[in-house]
């Protein structure tokens, strides 16, 4: 499945809470229903984005990771 990403932000090297704060700001810059991709290197970003999605009613579409990066897709 190919996702139509509206905006991608790079939070590599940042630790909590910066990736969440950057994502929150970015979500205000895109249309409702659009997709935001966040690239992070902080392993705790996985649970942070799960909690963020629940608290803000944003949909966490997908989470994946490689050896060094964590990808979060939000709507």
Catalytic residue list: 16
Contact 61, 28 (CB under 8 A): no
| Cα 64 to Cα 57: distance, rounded to the nearest angstrom | 20
Neighbour tally for 1: CB within 10 Å:
4
């Amino acid at each position: 499945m190919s996702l139509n990403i509206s905006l991608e932000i790079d939070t590599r090297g940042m630790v909590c809470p910066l990736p969440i704060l950057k994502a929150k700001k970015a979500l205000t810059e895109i249309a409702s229903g659009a997709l935001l991709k966040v690239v992070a290197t902080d392993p705790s970003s996985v649970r942070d984005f799960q909690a963020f999605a629940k608290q803000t009613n944003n949909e966490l579409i997908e989470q994946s990771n490689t050896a060094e990066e964590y990808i979060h897709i939000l709507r």
